[in-house]
Chains A and B, each alone.
Chain A
Amino acid sequence: MNLADLRARLTRAEKANDLEKLLNQTDDGLPWHDFVWMLQFPAFIGAGILVAFMASDAKPQDAAPPPAQLITLAVLGLLGAAMHFLHPFFRNQVQKKQYRVRKKGLVVPAALVQANSMWGQVDEWLYGSVLISLDPEVVSRPNLLADAGEIIFATKDKDRSTLPKDQREVAWTLYHELVPVRSVKVPESLTPGLSKCIMASVQLPPEALCEGPLLFALALPNDLDPTAIAILPEAAGKA
């Protein structure tokens, strides 16, 4: 998989407003930025109606339209323009992060660590845990990541008091299965041959884009927020 080529295709999909739907990025908040963006149209249409009114009311002896109409026209025009340009500021924190993932996220390989038992059986996005690495080595040796995923999963049912201290948080996160939670940094003792690995709780698409044992994700580097990683569906490879 050519990751640079895939990123370019995702950028085109984002420009066509297709990527958000493709990645199933939803949140509990109201889409105020969409509301604000849509409200520009009534504002411009209202301004258009007002211009038509002013033109139909104009008399040859008038020097200028009434000030109230001019002020209203200016206000409608300014509001329309403000809504057009400023609507991104009305995104909530989650929506801002999701937008950044779509715009600036790196395409990285991901290894499945665990998934909801219904994943693959139903046509729904379901939660799972994946291991991703920003180590350049992972592209040339993808099996390292898949092997590390298996090593990490093996810690799930171990008595965590017997594990080295730096492995306990990873094992606890797998064990409690609560989602979505912040990603955890994975110690190198669990990822032989790889560094800069994190384990993230993500939504898995019903049909994920994969190559061999690996999935692919859009990820913001060094961001442990659960919304900073999105697993790519199979359709993203054809975008």
Chain B
Amino acid sequence: MQIEAIAGPALKVVSQNDDAAVRALFTEQRGLLEVVRQNRIWQWLGGVPSGFGRPSAGLISLYLAFGFVVLLAVAFFVAGFTQGITLWIVTALAFACLLVRPFVHGSAIKKTLALFECGVLLPAIVVHVEDKEHTDDDELSVVAVLVGMDVQSSDDLRSLVVAGGRLRDYVDGDELTPRDLKPLVQSIRERASHDGGRVAAPSSIGKDYEIAYLVVNPLLLPGEVVDSQLMFVFADPNCRDADHTRVVQSELWGNGAAGLCNALPLEEIA
């Protein structure tokens, strides 16, 4: 597939008012995703599998592979002593480890690859940041974002920024929330599960907007902290289910995206 961005400009700074630069940035993002797909360098999107099941599935699969090797070695030793039931049990256990492996993470691999093949980068405006979740290695941020599903130009991007800012004010309680948006604002505030799923936003907020609930590793962001209203999410536009929206490494957002994010700091409007 020919990558349109091959003939594009070398972006450095992208202003949200510069329509040509914003369009070039979106083209570059599509080009970067195409490079990832053509070279199957899935580590840029988080690796395979990622999501769609228990995070420990990959480790369990590794243990099963080692289990097969160890049990087969044991079976060879046992065969020296007996050809009876013990040998058959050990051999059966070894091959059971091998046969179970695809069931442990096969489905997650398939779903991850399907998402990576069809996903697109979409601009999103942070409307709510919750207390951080802690893991062993990282401090994760729990966010709700307003995703623009059909943002093509700088005008579209500015509209998304304005709509996201308005919604953020409602969620923060700075402005009186219109009656039709109260259920949505309430659900953003009280949402318990930030599973990478999306819901449609009411048309009064804007056309073709959706709300995504995400857990973000700030290390993926340009400033390594949620300090901008703007981020780009990788999402399957045709599926709002859990795990189908996520934040990927900011290197894939394109050159100039970091400057665009810096120009929209979170604290100024929040």
What is A's interface to B at a CB cutoff of 8 Å? 30, 35, 38-39, 42-43, 45-50, 52-53, 68-69, 72, 75-76, 79, 156-161, 168-169, 172, 175-182, 226
Q: Provide the residues of chain A in CB contact with B32, threshold 8 Å.
A: 176, 178
Identify which of residues 64-94 in chain B touch chain A, using a CB-to-CB cut-off of 8 Å.
Answer: 65, 69, 72-74, 76-81, 83
Q: How far is A49 from B78 in the complex, measured between Cα atoms in Å?
A: 9
Q: Which residues of B contact A178 (CB under 8 A)?
A: 32, 35-36, 39, 41, 44, 251
Quick check: is B220 within 8 A (CB to CB) of the other chain?
no
Contact B69 A161 (CB under 8 A): no
Indicate whether B5 reaches chain A with its CB closer than 8 angstroms: yes
Q: Evaluate contact between A39 and B10: CB separation under 8 angstroms.
A: no
CB under 8 Å from chain A, chain B span 3-31: 3, 5-10, 12, 31
Chain B interface (Cβ < 8 Å from any Cβ of A) = 3, 5-10, 12, 31-32, 35-36, 38-39, 41, 44, 62, 65, 69, 72-74, 76-81, 83, 251, 255
Pairwise interchain contact A45-B80, C-beta atoms closer than 8 A: yes
Residue of B31, B65, B83 with most chain A CB atoms under a 10 A cut-off: B83
B10 engages A42 (CB within 8 Å): no
What are 30 A-B contacts defined by CB distance under 8 Å?
A: A30-B62, A38-B69, A42-B74, A42-B76, A43-B76, A45-B77, A45-B80, A46-B78, A47-B80, A48-B80, A49-B81, A50-B80, A72-B83, A79-B76, A157-B12, A158-B10, A159-B8, A168-B6, A172-B3, A172-B5, A172-B6, A176-B31, A176-B35, A178-B32, A178-B36, A178-B44, A180-B41, A181-B35, A181-B41, A182-B39
Q: Judging by beta carbons under 8 Å apart, are A42 and B77 in contact?
A: yes
- Distance of B116 from chain A, by nearest CB (Å): 14
- Complex contact B72–A156 (CB within 8 A): no
The answer to whether B83 touches A69, judged by C-beta atoms less than 8 angstroms apart, is yes
Residues of B within 8 A of A35 (CB): 69
Please report the C-alpha to C-alpha distance between residue A178 and residue B33 in the assembled complex, in whole angstroms: 10
Apart from A42-B72, A46-B78, A226-B39: 9 A-B pairs, beta carbons within 8 A: A30-B62, A42-B74, A42-B76, A48-B80, A72-B83, A76-B79, A158-B10, A160-B8, A168-B7
Secondary structure call for the A interface: helix
- CB pair B8 A161 closer than 8 Å: yes
List of A residues within 8 angstroms of B255 by Cβ: 175
The CA of A75 and the CA of B9, in the complex, are separated in Å by: 65
**Closest chain B residue to A156 by CB distance?**
B10
Q: With both chains docked as a complex, state the minimum distance between the C-beta of B42 and any C-beta of chain A, in angstroms.
A: 10
Closest A residue to B77 using CB positions: A46
Contact B69 A39 (CB under 8 A): yes
Q: How far is the CB of B135 from chain A (nearest CB, A)?
A: 22
Contact A42/B73 with A172-B3, A175-B10, A176-B35 known, Cβ cut-off 8 Å: yes
- CB-CB < 8 A to B72: which residues of A? 39, 42
Complex CA distance for A105 and B265, rounded to whole angstroms: 52
Cα(A48)–Cα(B81), bound, Å: 10
Contacts of B251 in A (CB 8 A): 177-178
A169 touching B76, Cβ below 8 Å: no
With A181-B41, A182-B39 as known contacts, state yes or no: A160 contacts B7, CB within 8 Å.
yes
Cβ contacts under 8 Å, A175 to chain B: 10, 255
Q: Which residue on chain B has the smallest CB distance to residue A51?
A: B80
Q: Which of A68, A160, A226 contacts B83 (CB 8 A)?
A: A68
Chain B residues in 8 Å Cβ range of A48:
80
Q: Are B80 and A157 in contact (CB-based, < 8 A)?
A: no
Complex contacts, B31 vs chain A, CB 8 Å? 172, 176
What is the chain B residue whose CB lies nearest that of A80? B76
Q: Are B10 and A46 in contact (CB under 8 A)?
A: no
Known: A178-B32, A180-B41, A182-B39. A161 touches B9 (CB 8 A): yes
Given A49-B81, A72-B83, A181-B35, A39:B76 Cβ within 8 A: yes
Nearest CB on A from B10, distance (A): 5
Which of B3, B7, B77 has its CB near the most chain A CB atoms (within 10 A)? B7
- With A and B bound together, what is the CA distance between A47 and B10 in angstroms? 66
Q: How far is the CA of A53 from the CA of B83 in the complex (A)?
A: 12
